[in-house]
Structure 1
Amino acid sequence: MTGRLQRLTTIQRPSIEFMFDGQPVSGLQGDTILTAILSHRGALREAEFGPEHRAGFCLMGACQDCWVWQEQGRRLRACSTELQAGLRLRSKAPDGWVS
């Protein structure tokens, strides 16, 4: 699946490398995690209770649609968390994770 987002203009910002579901991914400095991931993939994660895919909904941190997890278990809102180099993120909660 190709990326859901396409940049409309070339932006000269440094590239930031991170890992998502064990795969190397890159975004641009100033991107949110959601923007960086959706530039490469069609969805952020699978829904918890059905076959649908999630790609963010409100884009302002009020819903539950854009959660991702750091490999250590911390949950982040992808729509409002700025991308940082070296992040190791997952689309699914780690085994044993409790909210």
Structure 2
Amino acid sequence: MSSRFVRVAETGRKTFDLIVDGVPTQAAEGDTLMVALLTTHDTLRDSEFGDGRRAGFCLMGACQDCWVWTAEGERIRACTTPAAPGMSIVTRAALVGEGVWPRVRM
């Protein structure tokens, strides 16, 4: 799997596991979810408008392009949410349960 972000000169930060779309993924201490996701994946999430995958835009919580979901259905901004050990994140609308915003019908 290719990634959009590349870690450069990383030394000494501890890593931990989080789950992305049911698959274990590595993150480093201090990562936001966006950094953790885009250093291991080439996109961030499905668009809620059905026009494909998104990768975030502003990187500072203003543009609304980085919303992902927790496995429990909570919507969170990947660019401003710290990654934490054991988090379970859903980035694909097809995997989000019924009644969770957004529910895209394609």
Q: TM-score, normalised by structure 1?
A: 0.91
Task: Give structure 1 regions of 4+ aligned residues with deviation exceeding 3 angstroms.
Answer: none
Change (3 A) 1:50 1:97: closer
| Equivalent residue, structure 2, for 1:95 | 98
Whether 2:87 is the aligned partner of 1:77: answer no
d(CA) in 2 for partners of 1:4, 1:25: 15
After superposition, residues 35-74 of structure 1 pair within 5 angstroms as 35-74=35-74
Task: Give the whole-Å Cα distance in 2 for the aligned partners of 1:10 and 1:19.
Answer: 22
- Structure 1 residues 44 and 98, CA gap change in structure 2 (3 angstroms): closer
CA RMSD of aligned residues (A): 1.5
Query: Which segments of 5 or more consecutive residues in structure 1 lack a partner in the other structure?
Result: none
Structure 2, gaps ≥5 residues long: none
Q: What do residues 46-88 of structure 1 show as CA deviations (whole Å, max 9, x unaligned)?
A: 2222443211111111111101111111111000001100001
Q: Report the AA paired with residue 4 of structure 1.
A: R
Q: Once the two structures are superposed, what CA deviation does each residue of 1:19-42 show, in whole Å capped at 9, x if it has no partner?
A: 010000011000000000100110
2:45 counterpart letter in structure 1? R
Percent identical among aligned pairs is 41
Amino acid at match of 2:99: G
Cα distance in structure 2, aligned partners of 1:24 and 1:39: 14
